[in-house]
Structure 1
Amino acid sequence: MLLYLHGFRSSPQSFKAQLVQARMREWGVGRYYACPTLNVSPALAVAQAEAAIRAAQAGGDQEIAIVGSSLGGFYARWLGERHGCKTVLLNPAIHPWTDLESYLGEQPLWHGGGSVTVERRHLQELLDLRVDTITRPERYCLIAATGDEVLDYREMVEACPGANIRVIEGSDHGISEFADYVDDVLAFCGYGPGGKVPAGAGAA
């Protein structure tokens, strides 16, 4: 299974999530794609991700890969350490318990209208998911944009020593050119035009 974790105030309708899903469908492996609508509570969001992983394992899919964007990238680091799986981080949040301090209260969603309410307890939940040092960095792929207007790409690089790192000069927080990188992301996760590829073949 490939588990895609969207960012703060985002959803499965984000353009990166849709690109990943569309390419997997094109390659005949769309059934392995999962992208839950994550709760604003970090503890509940991670529980949702864990539930998706358990459902995939119960269905016989033992190989898991995770792709996380922004706040979803923060969750992906924690889950990657917990499950020892291939993990791709797209402009990931590194210390969101600080970043979200200024977003306490009701915040509008990017897709479909509606809003979420960020509570102070959510900051502690983020702290509880902190990963100080990644292990087996070869399992990680980081794509970081120097033009990210929300997060500092240098903190992302510093947080992923030894990982497969690609720094994009310019771009933005959403990685507008993600269509240029989606195939590489899926290859790292073990997918190609012919479907799933042998274990290890997707490593960069």
Structure 2
Amino acid sequence: MVVYLHGFASSSQSEKAQQTQAYFATHYPHIHFTALDVPYEPDAALATIKQHLEQSGITTTGGNGQQLALIGSSLGGFLATCIAEEYGCRACLINPAVAPHTVLSQHLGDYYHPVLEQAYQVTPEHMTSLKQLMPTTLQQPHNYLVLLQTGDEVLDYRLALDYYQGALINVREGGNHSYTDYQQQLSTITEFCQLN
């Protein structure tokens, strides 16, 4: 099973999510793929992801983390990291947010989730949650593929270089936060997932 996790103020309808879904449908139709819509409140987001995994028969204690792979973009990369550390599964991260509380603290206020059709607030309490949720160190860095572009105008890619030491890291010059030419990376991503 592969789960795609979108970034902040994004959804399962984002361009990358749709491109990934189409790629799996075409090339890996036997693999269960979900582009999951998650709440923007950090604890609720992780609870939603874990509930989805549990309903799909994937647990931390069942030793079946090998049947799961995550793809996360930006804040979704942070959430994917939290889940991968707990479940011991592989995760492919696209311009992931490292220490997202330091970035999102500049974006407090009211928002609206277009797919969940829910109004929500980004609060200082959420920043505290994000800080507490962030794994101090990675237990299995080899479980991560990290795709970075130096032209990311939202996040400093060098933070990810430092945090994900020991992971398979691909840094491309230029680009932007949404990761230009993402579709060209999908074969690399699916190979890294190592799902039959």
Q: If the length of structure 2 is used for normalisation, what is the TM-score? A: 0.90
Q: 3-state DSSP class of the match of 2:93?
A: strand
Q: 3-state DSSP class of the match of 1:25?
A: helix
Aligned length: 192
Report the more deviating stretch, 66-75 or 24-33.
24-33
CA contact (8 A) 1:21 1:30 kept: no
The runs of 5 or more residues in structure 2 that have no matched partner are 59-63
1:127 aligns with 2:94: no
Deviations 1:11-30 (A, max 9, x none): 00111111111011002426
CA contact (8 A) 1:9 1:116 kept: no
Q: If the length of structure 1 is used for normalisation, what is the TM-score? A: 0.86
Tell me the distance in 1 between the aligned counterparts of 2:172 and 2:96: 14
Kindly, what percent of the aligned residue pairs are identical?
Answer: 34
Deviations 1:116-161 (A, max 9, x none): 3212211111112111211221111100110000000110110101
Which residue does the alignment assign to 2:19? 19
Shift of 1:55: 1.6
RMSD between aligned alpha carbons?
2.3
Which residue does the alignment assign to 1:105? 109
Tell me the distance in 1 between the aligned counterparts of 2:121 and 2:141: 34
**Aligned 1:81-160 pairs, distance under 5 A:** 81-107=85-111, 116-160=120-164
Tell me the distance in 2 between the aligned counterparts of 1:137 and 1:35: 24
Q: 3-state DSSP class of the match of 1:81?
A: helix
Tell me the distance in 1 between the aligned counterparts of 2:102 and 2:28: 41
2:188 to 166, 184, 192: 184
Shift of 1:186: 1.1
Runs of 4+ in 1 over 6 A off after TM superposition: 110-114
Deviations 1:24-83 (A, max 9, x none): 10024265111221101100000111111112226xxx4000111100111111111100
Tell me the distance in 1 between the aligned counterparts of 2:157 and 2:184: 19
The runs of 5 or more residues in structure 1 that have no matched partner are 197-204
